[in-house]
Amino acid sequence: MYKIPYGKQEITNEDISEVIKTLQSDFLTQGPKILEFETRFAEYVDAKYAVAVCNGTAALHMAVLALGLQPRQKIITTPITFVASANCVLYAGAEVVFADIDANDYNIDVVKLEALLKSHPKNTFAGIIPVAFAGCPVKLEKISALAKAHGFWVVEDACHAPGGYFNDSKGKKIKCGSTVYSDLSCFSFHPVKHIAAGEGGMITTNSKELYEKLKSLRTHGITKDAALLKENHGGWYYEMQDLGYNYRISDINAALALSQLNRADQGIARRHEIADKYRKAFSDLPVKYQQTEEGVFNAYHLFVIETDRRKELYDHLFSKGIFPQIHYIPVHMQPYYKSLGFKKGDFPVAEVYYEKCISLPMYASLKDEELEHVIQSVRLFFK
């Protein structure tokens, strides 16, 4: 009997060896593997700086804090995302405002975003957190232009999209996380993501000032840097200069993530093979896929299809030993967000999408025979 999840980590002997080496080293946390991982990841996404943290949610929270988010300020994001993209705003006592999604790529709709901005006075919004949903890069160049015109910052939620990129209006390749068109970018290294650290996250930036702020926030707001101290009582002395958090990642997690990073491109190539096979196999079926524009390279964290018979297909696949998932229940329809005043009908495109979406198995270690079983099971359902 097959047991095929929608997503799954792949742990190799090399991964295990690298973790064992770290376990046998002098550092389990706050050691050299973290800086090594940060340096390599920054190079991978074409950013100047990277700060590793304990998970993607911590990355998002630290990002908005580093940018100075204040209580009651308004931040825009998408309703089709994991709740952390919006929750990080609430953690800071600020207010979440949603803009509906594009029916084709499932990312935030730039046209609706522009209409939202025009319907409010300038400087109403402090920032925006667009999400590269399922691995499809956001229209960051257009969003960046709107941010400059309306005076707000941009945090790219690229948790689904390491390795993704788009070509901008000048023909330049812009990698997700490069922060060419954003202030900060956030990533997750949860086991179902491209790079599995067990748990882990990363924030990238090209700003030295934000980089230093993030490092402080990650470790209780404490520094031992003699150049930054207000006083200095001796070699033991440290100062808490910000209200920070314990959002550190361990060297153990960083060692695993580093090993996984070595084959990240190989994993994305396999994800594209799977996506291509799905598209070809389902070309005659009544399903819709996420669309990407020319010049956009999807990292394919997920492969989502839409069907009017979602519940029946879900149950059918489950009976075949295939465990799909639904990404996502719109954030504004969660009970907690309803208690904040949101309601069904607020974002109709997102709600229609939710009624039809289903994520099929998509991960680099998916075997050909497993993929074929998924394909034939979907075709059997529709035929």
pLDDT tens column, 80-96: 999 999 999 999 999 99
Percent of the chain at pLDDT exceeding 90 = 98
Same domain, yes or no: 248 and 268: no
Write down the mean pLDDT value for the chain.
Answer: 97
CA distances from 192 to 138, 177, 261, 339 (A): 21, 19, 14, 31
Indicate the pLDDT class of residue 351, thresholds 50, 70 and 90. Answer: very high
Q: Which of 206, 232, 261 is the last residue of a domain?
A: 261
pTM: 0.97
Same domain, yes or no: 269 and 250: no
User: What residues have CB less than 8 Å from 171, skipping those under 6 apart?
Assistant: none
Q: Work out the widest C-alpha separation in the chain, in whole angstroms.
A: 77
Element (H, E) at 67: none
The predicted model gives 66-84 an average pLDDT of 98
| φ and ψ of 333, to 5 deg | -95, 0
pLDDT at position 283: 97
Same domain, yes or no: 274 and 155: no
Same domain, yes or no: 148 and 93: yes
| Total structural domains within the chain | 2
| φ and ψ of 28, to 5 deg | -105, -20
Give residue 72's region: left, alpha or beta (phi > 0; psi -120 to 50).
left
User: What residues have CB less than 8 Å from 193, skipping those under 6 apart?
Assistant: 159, 160, 162, 187, 301
Same domain, yes or no: 216 and 332: no
- Tokens found for residue 7: 């997503």
Supply the DSSP symbol for 246: B
- Does position 331 have pLDDT exceeding 80, yes or no? yes
State the pairing for strand pair 184-188/222-223: unpaired
**287 contacts 307 by C-beta, under 8 angstroms:** yes
Q: How far apart are CA 351 and CA 354, in angstroms?
A: 5
Q: How far apart are CA 344 and CA 2, in angstroms?
A: 37
pLDDT at position 1: 76
The predicted model gives 167-182 an average pLDDT of 98
- Does position 348 have pLDDT exceeding 90, yes or no? yes
The predicted model gives 120-125 an average pLDDT of 94
- Tokens found for residue 2: 């097959």
Give residue 171's region: left, alpha or beta (phi > 0; psi -120 to 50).
left
User: What residues have CB less than 8 Å from 332, skipping those under 6 apart?
Assistant: 79, 98, 338, 342, 343, 346, 347, 350
Same domain, yes or no: 248 and 280: no
**237 contacts 224 by C-beta, under 8 angstroms:** yes
Give residue 212's region: left, alpha or beta (phi > 0; psi -120 to 50).
alpha
Same domain, yes or no: 289 and 367: yes
The predicted model gives 124-131 an average pLDDT of 98
Q: How far apart are CA 92 and CA 125, in angstroms?
A: 15
Specify burial of residue 124 (Cβ count, 10 A radius: 0-12, 13-18, 19+). middle
**147 contacts 180 by C-beta, under 8 angstroms:** no
Whether residue 337 is preceded by a cis peptide bond, meaning omega within 30 degrees of 0, is no
Instruction: Identify the residue whose tokens are 């707001």.
Output: 221
Percent of the chain at pLDDT exceeding 70 = 100
Same domain, yes or no: 79 and 220: yes
Q: Which of 261, 296, 327 is the last residue of a domain?
A: 261
357 forms beta bridges with: 306
Same domain, yes or no: 249 and 281: no
Same domain, yes or no: 187 and 282: no
CATH code for the domain of 14: 3.40.640.10
Q: How far apart are CA 204 and CA 216, in angstroms?
A: 15
CATH code for the domain of 323: 3.90.1150.10
The radius of gyration of the chain from alpha carbons, rounded to an integer in Å, stands at 21
Same domain, yes or no: 370 and 320: yes
Same domain, yes or no: 106 and 245: yes
Q: Which of 261, 289, 313 is the last residue of a domain?
A: 261
The amino acid present at 133, given as its one-letter code, is F
Domain that holds residue 29: 4-261
pLDDT at position 383: 87
Q: How far apart are CA 304 and CA 368, in angstroms?
A: 19
Sheet hosting strand 173-175, strand order edge to edge: 173-175, 165-167, 296-297
Q: Which of 167, 143, 181, 100 is nearest to 349 (CA)?
A: 100
